[in-house]
Chains A and B, each alone.
Chain A
Amino acid sequence: MAYDKFNILKSTVVPLPTENVDTDQIIPARFLKATEREGFGDNLFRDWRYDVEGNPKKDFVLNDPTFSGKILLAGKNFGSGSSREHAVWALYDYGFRCVVSSFFADIFKNNCLNIGVLPVTVSAEFADVLFEAVENDPSTEVEVDIEKQTITLVSTGASESFDINVYKKENMKNGFDDIDYLLNIKDEITEFAVNR
């Protein structure tokens, strides 16, 4: 599925410093029963966001009106566990276009890139700088520039560069996905398959 092009994203930030957030927290298994890719945002972080009666839990950041934005600033080892792409669908559907962390789980990172949510890996020190800035001033803006591969704290100009391979970068910038690429080389694939 093609997705929105990603070039420069300037936004306020939602901080979630908890470490080892697994995809079962991002979207619990009981909400994976849909046969279409819609509406997952409602159940994003369901059990941290709502109590058993469905009332919002006040202390969870998504229920805190002071924080909002298209960038989720997450703790270390974000997205571990289950390969469910639904986790990224939920983030996307909720409105996040970028997740920043000092460490991502593998499959989650792949899934992000496949549907157009940019995972930005920063150093642990820079993550701390961002957390502090955002928690002190929720109106803090962060700018992510995919062409330059930089993430910048707008207020101070503090900046760091991040990695992304050239192929994925072009995909993100153009809203392409891997299937477009693969379908274009189908003949090469079917030839390869003869001997497998």
Chain B
Amino acid sequence: MEKKTLFDKIWDAHVVRSVPHGPDVFFIDKHFIHEVTSPVAFLNLEKRGVGVLYPERTVATPDHNVPTIDQDKTIKDKLSRMQVERLRENCERHNIELHDLGSAHHGIVHVIGPELGITQPGMTIVCGDSHTSTHGAFGAIAFGIGTSEVEMVFATQCIMQVKAKKMRITVDGELGKGVSSKDIILYIIAKISAAGATGYFVEYAGSAIRALSMEARMTICNMSIEMGARGGLIAPDETTFNYLKGKRYSPKGEEWEKAVAEWRNLQTDEGAVFDKEYQFDAADIEPMITYGTNPGMGIKVKENIPSTDGMEGSNKKSYLKSLDYMGFAPGEPIKGKKVDYVFVGSCTNGRIEDIREVANFVKGKKKADNITAWIVPGSREVEKLAHEEGLVQILEEAGFKLRQPGCSACLAMNDDKIPSGMYAVSTSNRNFEGRQGPGARTLLASPLTVAAVAVTGEISDPREVF
């Protein structure tokens, strides 16, 4: 029998037909939408006079542009308000499930999907958002699509894509103290570069990955796109099943047993061949931070910013342009640099586990005076748990400001912007120029490192602070 990777198994089961010398017609089980990348798709659908084929397969939530204060009031920004209203109208007209602002399950689309048990092993999932790869943590094929494809999914529940090549990244061994899944993925991206996995779909494997919680696995899969990968996935196991059990949309009773039995088969066959393989040792990974303007520009907190030795031409120019934007010099240490903002949130690290981690470490401490500290839960559910567990009180006593759920300063489409020239250490996923506001300088790190920075007011290694 042909040996297949997990990716092959799921992909092949969803091919309606293959166009000769062209793409596959690829069936989509679940489709998430939000207010920013869906309106034009709905509009074009109407222009064509076509309806939504399977509305029950689409779930919507407004997350990208929504304010994170006063969510019960009318949105002040006119354009944002229009997008959110348009989403409401479209969902109503096409009979699509909407988790609206203020409702019990409102939140960032990649946080609520898993929370509700919509995301399940073996599924194909798309959304007009590149961090859809998050859902791969459950052993699903999940990836971001453009608005034209959103329209295709509405109209036909299919898109047309050429199957990606396969990469496996194995991380074996045990993580050291103070090192988390965010450090794993920042380490991997730094090793293989921001474009190193372009054209591939990645499977993460190895003992260090298997030891992670679902939340931590989501953090890893989330950032697959930051090394150019189409998506990333992790084979489901007991951790996955335990997480999903009892969730709102998870199968129940006999159906559950049947589903789990099927999910157990979602493994890469022994001897299956990948187009590319990488192996890393967990013991080599330490707290990481980025210093430049793409997520591949990451180093260990204790290291120096790389010098320009060996660089030339446009490579060197681009590198210097990037450091110039950041206000850093080649070869200097990153530790000890003054910071202005910290941001805990986003679909990468805005889950309850992340907030617990930060609260746990700042408990009884105070943020430094020069720091503005924002903490934005990924969903209402996370917000509720944070209150119930007393985390909010701990964080507020430490000087953090808790805001309401949304993408917030991850992409700064709303008012949550880092002022020009200021430094923010963030748990989000992108440090592009202006990502957190025009002129803002972003450094990506784990929730733990962010907590350490909040307390010291400068770039710090969390292992030295607590």
A binds B: yes
Residues in chain A within 8 A of chain B (CB atoms): 1, 17-20, 22, 24-25, 28-30, 32-37, 47, 52, 75-77, 80-86, 88, 103-107, 110-111, 114-115, 165-168, 177-179, 181-183, 185-186, 188-190, 192-193, 196
CA separation between A86 and B145, bound complex, in Å? 12
* Chain A residue nearest to B148 in the complex (CB): A114
CA separation between A85 and B315, bound complex, in Å? 27
* Chain A residue nearest to B127 in the complex (CB): A83
The answer, yes or no, to whether B323 is at the interface (CB within 8 Å) is no
The answer, yes or no, to whether B16 is at the interface (CB within 8 Å) is yes
Q: Would B157 and A193 count as touching, CB distance under 8 A?
A: yes
Mark out the residues of chain B between 155 and 214 whose CB falls within 8 Å of any chain A CB in the assembled complex.
155-162, 164, 194-195, 198-199
Q: Would A80 and B79 count as touching, CB distance under 8 A?
A: no
CA separation between A50 and B456, bound complex, in Å? 36
CB of B408 to closest CB in A, whole Å: 12
Q: Would A19 and B151 count as touching, CB distance under 8 A?
A: no
CA separation between A137 and B17, bound complex, in Å? 48
CA separation between A88 and B315, bound complex, in Å? 25
CB of A122 to closest CB in B, whole Å: 15
CA separation between A165 and B163, bound complex, in Å? 13
Given contacts A19-B318, A20-B194, contact A52 B145 (CB under 8 A): no
4 further A-B pairs in the complex, CB-CB below 8 A; given A29-B435, A33-B80: A19-B318, A103-B198, A182-B158, A189-B53
Q: Chain B residues with Cβ under 8 A from A47's Cβ?
A: 433-434, 438
Q: Would A165 and B21 count as touching, CB distance under 8 A?
A: yes
Given contacts A106-B199, A183-B155, contact A28 B434 (CB under 8 A): yes
The 8 A CB mask of B1-41 against A (1 = contact, 0 = none) is 00000000000001011011111010101000000110110
Contact of B21 among A105, A167, A186 (CB under 8 A): A167
Number of A-B pairs, beta carbon distance below 8 Å: 196
Q: Would B156 and A179 count as touching, CB distance under 8 A?
A: yes
CA separation between A36 and B294, bound complex, in Å? 30
CA separation between A1 and B164, bound complex, in Å? 25
CA separation between A103 and B430, bound complex, in Å? 20
Size bin of chain B's contact surface: 35 or more
Q: Would B314 and A83 count as touching, CB distance under 8 A?
A: no
Mark out the residues of chain B between 397 and 436 whose CB falls within 8 Å of any chain A CB in the assembled complex.
411-413, 420, 430, 432-435
Contact of B148 among A25, A35, A111 (CB under 8 A): A111
CB of B383 to closest CB in A, whole Å: 23
The answer, yes or no, to whether B130 is at the interface (CB within 8 Å) is yes
Contact of B79 among A33, A83, A114, A188 (CB under 8 A): A33
CB of B120 to closest CB in A, whole Å: 12
CA separation between A85 and B130, bound complex, in Å? 11
Given contacts A83-B37, A106-B230, contact A177 B148 (CB under 8 A): yes
The answer, yes or no, to whether B117 is at the interface (CB within 8 Å) is no
A/B interface sample: 24 pairs, CB < 8 A: A32-B36, A33-B65, A33-B80, A33-B83, A34-B39, A35-B86, A77-B194, A80-B194, A81-B130, A84-B37, A86-B147, A88-B146, A103-B195, A106-B230, A107-B143, A107-B146, A165-B23, A167-B160, A178-B148, A178-B152, A178-B159, A179-B156, A182-B158, A192-B27
